[in-house]
């Protein structure tokens, strides 16, 4: 596996070094300088909001089975009824280079009166984080090996192509807006989530797969909303047909207008 800190803050580097040391007793970790050089050659526009294809390209460039992305920071917080404090946090993304999927996402945070103490508390948790990551990787690796290849399913045709004639795309009878999670709002996350959906000729969802991930509970929010919708299936010449299609949802924090 490779551990990368795309936004190379001091705390990110400290957490990455400690996590690498903890994981090296459980898995083979590629040298950080080699990983970074290879990763930079294929660096995506947004490392923490990659598509599955971007994830696979990054993993292939490094030559790893899993890619761990870390963003850590230490920031001052205030809350009603308590003294000012500091929060050190690390956001961990574990990505499969084989499938490009986000196989684990976690936010770890600690609090203290001064930044150095908060950072130390966070760094002391890396052994626990390593155990968690190892368990998630083991489960994902077994699932990937057992996973059957996708069966062929038609996808929406390009506009003005012969297959677009008399074609009606799948559409929900009632749209449900995915929740912008409290965790995403707290950290002011802006992200796009893309979901591939397999829909049968009766409008039943057979399969969903996140093909652009974001973390912060947003991936699960999209899947949950889409599966709650009732769908009208695709049609061509008045006949319903199964269809594989992509849905895209954009998330950002919207500040309320002042009263």
Q: What is the pLDDT along the chain (259 residues), one digit of tens a residue?
A: 999 999 888 999 999 999 999 999 989 999 999 999 999 888 888 999 999 999 999 999 999 999 999 999 999 988 777 789 999 999 999 999 999 999 999 999 999 999 999 999 999 999 999 999 999 999 999 999 999 999 999 999 998 999 999 999 999 999 999 999 999 999 999 999 999 999 999 999 999 999 999 999 999 999 999 999 999 999 999 999 999 999 999 999 876 555 4
Mention every residue, 6+ apart, whose C-beta is less than 8 A from residue 201: 233, 240, 241, 242
Domain count, the chain: 2
For residues 42 and 17, state if they share a domain.
yes
Report helix, strand or coil for 247. Answer: strand
Specify whether 132 is located in the same domain as 225. Answer: no
Of 74, 73, 55, 66, the closest CA to residue 23 belongs to 66
Domain that holds residue 67: 2-146
69, part of any domain: yes
State the distance between the two ends of the chain, measured CA to CA, in whole angstroms. Answer: 51
pTM: 0.92
Task: Provide the Cα torsion 73, 20, 51, 225; round to 10°.
Answer: -70
From residue 207, alpha-carbon distances to 51, 231, 233, 245 in Å are 18, 13, 14, 11
- 132 and 181 belong to one structural domain: no
Question: How far is residue 145's CA from residue 113's CA, in Å, rounded to a whole number?
Answer: 47
């Amino acid at each position: 596996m490779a551990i990368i800190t795309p936004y190379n803050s001091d705390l990110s580097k400290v957490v990455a070094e400690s996590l690498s040391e903890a994981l090296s007793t459980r898995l083979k970790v590629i040298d950080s300088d080699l990983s970074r050089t290879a990763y930079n050659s294929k660096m995506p526009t947004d490392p923490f909001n990659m598509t599955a294809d971007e994830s696979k390209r990054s993993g292939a460039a490094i030559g790893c089975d899993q890619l761990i992305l870390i963003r850590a920071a230490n920031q001052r917080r205030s809350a009603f009824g308590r003294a000012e404090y500091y929060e050190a946090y690390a956001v961990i993304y574990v990505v499969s280079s084989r499938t490009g999927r986000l196989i684990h996402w976690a936010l770890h945070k600690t609090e203290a009166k001064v930044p150095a103490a908060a950072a130390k508390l966070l760094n002391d948790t890396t052994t626990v984080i390593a155990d968690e990551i190892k368990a998630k990787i083991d489960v994902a690796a077994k699932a990937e090996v057992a996973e059957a290849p996708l069966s062929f399913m038609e996808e929406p045709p390009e506009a003005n192509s012969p297959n677009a004639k008399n074609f009606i795309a799948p559409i929900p009878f009632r749209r449900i807006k995915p929740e912008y999670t409290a965790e995403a709002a707290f950290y002011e996350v802006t992200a796009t989530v893309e979901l591939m959906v397999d829909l049968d000729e009766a409008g039943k969802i057979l399969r969903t797969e996140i093909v652009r991930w974001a973390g912060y509970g947003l991936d699960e929010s999209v899947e949950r909303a889409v599966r709650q919708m009732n769908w009208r299936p695709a049609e061509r010449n008045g006949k319903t047909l199964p269809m594989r299609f992509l849905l895209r949802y954009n998330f950002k924090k919207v500040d309320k207008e002042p009263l």
